Amino acid sequence: MVSCIISCWSSSRCRQLFSLVWSRSMGGGPRTFPGGLNKWQWKRLHEKKAREKEKRLLDQEKQLYQARLRSQIRSSLSGQPESDPTHKPMSPRDHIKALADRFMKPGAEDLWNDDDGPVHSMTRKPDLTKPIDPPIDLRKLVRDGSTDGSSVFSGTSEKKRGFSSYTGFIGMRYVDGDVGSLSNLRRFCTNLRQQRGYSVSTRGRFKTRFQKRGHDSSSSGDDDDIDKDGGYGTVRENARWPRLRSEGEKSVRGFMGNAVLGKYDVKITKRRILKDLEEFAEQEYDDKGNMAERIKQIRQEVNERKLAVAEKEKSQEEIERGEDDFTASRKRFEDSGLSPMTVKALTAAGFVLMTRVQEAALSICFEGKDALVKARSGTGKTAAFLLPAIETVLKTMSCNKVQHVPPIYVLILCPTRELASQVTAEANVLLKYHDGLAVQMLVGGTRFKDDLKRLESDSCQILVATPGRLLDHIETRSGLSVRLMGLKMLVLDEADHLLDLGFRKDMEKIVDCLPRQRQSLLFSATIPREVRRVSQLVLKREHAFINTLDAGYPETSSKVKQSYVIAPHDLHFQIVHQLLKEHISQMPDYKVIVFCATGMVTSLMYLLFRELKLNVREIHSRKPQLYRSCVVYEFKQSKRLILISSDVSTRGMNYHDVTLVIQVGIPLNRDQYIHRLGRTGREGKNGEGILLLAPWEEYFLDEIRDLPIERSSAPHLDQDMKFKMEDSMAKIDTSVKEAAYHAWLGYYNSLSEIGRDKTSLVKWANEFCESIGLQKPPALFRKTVVKMGLKGIPGIRIRK
């Protein structure tokens, strides 16, 4: 019995104890929240809501800021003061207000206040000359019973702000902890409302606004619970005043803790608003944050555009009058500030008026700036860089004392030997009356030792060179590297070609050996975008870009008639022959250049036409330098001559009075077509250009669609001529034909459009083989053909 009682007692006692132990509240507020959410879910939910709100406010603020800026720029550009009442349709201030009303809805209308208006500067600096007001000690005010707010709100600006300022102000003070306890804040608010004449219902508005912002009002319970609402309002208000909030961040955490925040457990995350606004402002302002500067810039841009349009209209008139960019500039050399000796040499050479490119380039070059210059072929680019080069030498020599190792002051680089020789000749013409100034040339195909001797014995302030030979001299550590240390100017003629992949490596090495303190000038008739990028290798970042073609002049001369003929490839030799015959019959003083794809094809065509008794010469890289120089000289001097040329004459060669240019087969690219065509119609003269393509090369026409080129029908070919040509072809040495075939195949295989279709390429190669009278492709080149992966060429079996 006793044991039974004991056991009963002990079991009920145990249960009691158990319930006491396990049913004890753990503290920290309710464990479940509305919707059955646990504490962490509830917290996350509200954090998310706070983030969304913050983002929305940021967007709104940005939009308003942007609108204010736009409005200010517009009013500044229109030249009307911001307060001008005549500004239509509405003043900037009204405009901004209207935008603010539009953007700030809903729930953020109070971002606008009367002080808002066109922005003046994001980085307003404090006026250090004015005495700084001591901070208001609100705690003291409350303690002293003077919390009526009158002293605080004595400033006119605060009065103007109205209700939004009131809530914002209270929020700020609360966050900053200036008012001490919440009851003090309540007292402070009441006094403030009375002082500013707000009715009691203001409190309702105050609260309702917070409720409107999408927060649960039911949980706030008591309407008069100003402490809670005030706390909440404070945090919200501060979301829009990032600077204040970040300053008061610690106070929020310390003073308002989780218990006060209640369910609005707002996690204060990284403050991004101010940072974003600053980034945005940086885009709108210049580096110094100066609005006036920005407006000046915009004005300048507008003026430049106007000038460009006027320039274009002027050049259009000039084109209509029959002038082009060779004859358009009317400025005289003697008025350009050149040395009298240079002007004398120019006059002696018959140069009185400047061409457009010379006028544009000279002014920039005299300023000492780097420049990238684009101008049409045959418009005087050579003189445009030689004249500043000579002036640079004169200026430097007048400043420098006599040196033990005489420096080279100007280095001019050209892609071909012929061009280098031409530039040297023109420099000699311009230096005619300058005693003690001399130009020398360094190109391949001559003896290295002879170069050294010449450089040592003769004076040289201007050096014209091809990159390969110059690099040989630099790498063998001849005295040239030391002399180049005094370089003042670097010129690249045909710059796009020199910066092309073929020359790039050599150019990089050369530029590395040159002093950085120099002026660099780049000239060409074509400057592809890719080259503009690579030009940084040579040019300074703040270089000038002169494009005379921008003014509306066409890329090719309007005085050159352009046409193309599409005909089967095996008829090309015959068609060229017929075109030449027709041209000769029409032009007694004919001078023709026929461009072929490769050197060996050039040689084959030359031999064939020589057999056919045409007055022809050939020039290509396989010929010795002396032969090439003689041909260039002869072709420059004579008339009634046909030059069969590879690409060595494509760029820069100044053969006077060329009447016709024929391009046989597809050019490498659009630029090559333009440069070849530029050999005719120079110095504003008339000319003609014909492009001969096979049907499978027709795709190239897309690249030159914008040029004034027209289709022309193939000339009539008579049967007798065909037999005559076959006979002449049969007389040509097989080795020449084999070499031509091999070169032809290599060229077309390198063209991406044609080379990727190997089957078609083999078919066309076989046609070419037949047209030049080859029974089977040369055995010698089997390995190369196999390497190219070409199958189906007669006589060549590819082992698997």
Ligand X SMILES: Nc1ncnc2c1ncn2[C@@H]1O[C@H](COP(=O)(O)OP(=O)(O)OP(=O)(O)O)[C@@H](O)[C@H]1O
Interface contacts to ligand X, rule CB under 6 A: 351, 353-355, 358, 375, 377-383, 525, 652, 654, 678, 682-683
Looking at beta carbons only, is 354 or 443 nearer to ligand X? 354
Establish how many alpha carbons lie within 13 A of residue 687's alpha carbon, considering only the half-sphere containing its beta carbon: 29
Q: Shortest Cβ distance from residue 521 to ligand X (Å)? A: 13
* CA–CA separation, 82 and 96 (whole Å): 12
Q: Shortest Cβ distance from residue 421 to ligand X (Å)? A: 13
Q: Shortest Cβ distance from residue 526 to ligand X (Å)? A: 9
Hey, what long-range contacts does 218-227 have (CB within 8 A, 24 or more apart)?
219/34, 219/262, 219/263, 226/185, 226/186, 226/189, 227/182, 227/183, 227/185, 227/186, 227/260
* CA–CA separation, 353 and 323 (whole Å): 14
Q: How many residues does the chain have?
A: 800
Looking at beta carbons only, is 33 or 351 nearer to ligand X? 351
Percentage helix, strand, coil for the chain under 3-state DSSP, each rounded to 5 = 55, 10, 35
693: three-class secondary structure by DSSP: strand
Phi, psi of 784 (to 5 degrees): -65, -45
User: Which H, E and C letters describe 309-329, residue by residue?
Assistant: HHHHHHHHHHHHCCCCCCCCC
CA angle (748 as vertex; 745, 749 as ends), nearest 5: 80
Neighbours of 128 (CB within 10 A): 7
Q: Shortest Cβ distance from residue 635 to ligand X (Å)? A: 14
Looking at beta carbons only, is 357 or 579 nearer to ligand X? 357
Helices (H) and strands (E) in the chain, counts: 32, 16
Looking at beta carbons only, is 142 or 525 nearer to ligand X? 525
For 153, which DSSP code?
G
Q: Shortest Cβ distance from residue 423 to ligand X (Å)? A: 9
Looking at beta carbons only, is 383 or 521 nearer to ligand X? 383
Q: Shortest Cβ distance from residue 622 to ligand X (Å)? A: 23
User: Exposure pattern of 672-683 as b/e (b: 16+ CB <10 Å)?
Assistant: bbbbbbbbbbbe
* CA–CA separation, 580 and 610 (whole Å): 13
Looking at beta carbons only, is 483 or 497 nearer to ligand X? 497
Q: Shortest Cβ distance from residue 680 to ligand X (Å)? A: 11
What is the DSSP pairing of strand 32-33 with strand 37-38?
Answer: antiparallel
Looking at beta carbons only, is 383 or 441 nearer to ligand X? 383
Looking at beta carbons only, is 161 or 417 nearer to ligand X? 417
Q: Shortest Cβ distance from residue 376 to ligand X (Å)? A: 7
Asked if 666 and 697 touch (Cβ cutoff 8 Å), the reply is: yes
Distance of CA 432 to the CA centre of its chain: 42
Looking at beta carbons only, is 653 or 774 nearer to ligand X? 653
Looking at beta carbons only, is 167 or 557 nearer to ligand X? 557
Q: Shortest Cβ distance from residue 407 to ligand X (Å)? A: 26
* CA–CA separation, 188 and 145 (whole Å): 9
Q: Shortest Cβ distance from residue 625 to ligand X (Å)? A: 21
Q: Shortest Cβ distance from residue 358 to ligand X (Å)? A: 6
User: Which H, E and C letters describe 733-780, residue by residue?
Assistant: CHHHHHHHHHHHHHHHHHCHHHHCCHHHHHHHHHHHHHHCCCCCCCHH
Question: Can you give the C-alpha Rg of the chain in angstroms?
Answer: 43
Q: Among positive and negative, which fits the CA dihedral 31, 32, 38, 40?
A: negative
Q: Is 468 exposed, middle or buried (0-12, 13-18, 19+ CB in 10 A)?
A: middle
Looking at beta carbons only, is 246 or 629 nearer to ligand X? 629
Looking at beta carbons only, is 234 or 650 nearer to ligand X? 650
Nearest by Cα to 96 from 122, 60, 72? 72
Q: Shortest Cβ distance from residue 673 to ligand X (Å)? A: 14
> Which residues lie closer than 8 Å to 529 by C-beta, 6 or more apart?
none
Q: Which two tokens stand for residue 196?
A: 């500013």
Bridge partners for 374 per DSSP: 524, 547
Q: Shortest Cβ distance from residue 448 to ligand X (Å)? A: 28
Looking at beta carbons only, is 92 or 681 nearer to ligand X? 681
Looking at beta carbons only, is 264 or 385 nearer to ligand X? 385
Q: Shortest Cβ distance from residue 329 to ligand X (Å)? A: 8
Q: Shortest Cβ distance from residue 708 to ligand X (Å)? A: 19
* CA–CA separation, 430 and 324 (whole Å): 25
Looking at beta carbons only, is 549 or 796 nearer to ligand X? 549
Q: Shortest Cβ distance from residue 691 to ligand X (Å)? A: 18
Q: Shortest Cβ distance from residue 654 to ligand X (Å)? A: 4
Looking at beta carbons only, is 268 or 353 nearer to ligand X? 353
The residue with its CB nearest to ligand X is 380
* CA–CA separation, 779 and 800 (whole Å): 18
- Which one-letter amino acid corresponds to residue 357? V
690: three-class secondary structure by DSSP: strand
Report the phi/psi class of residue 624: left, alpha or beta, with left for phi > 0 and alpha for psi in -120 to 50.
Answer: beta
687: three-class secondary structure by DSSP: strand
Looking at beta carbons only, is 374 or 543 nearer to ligand X? 374
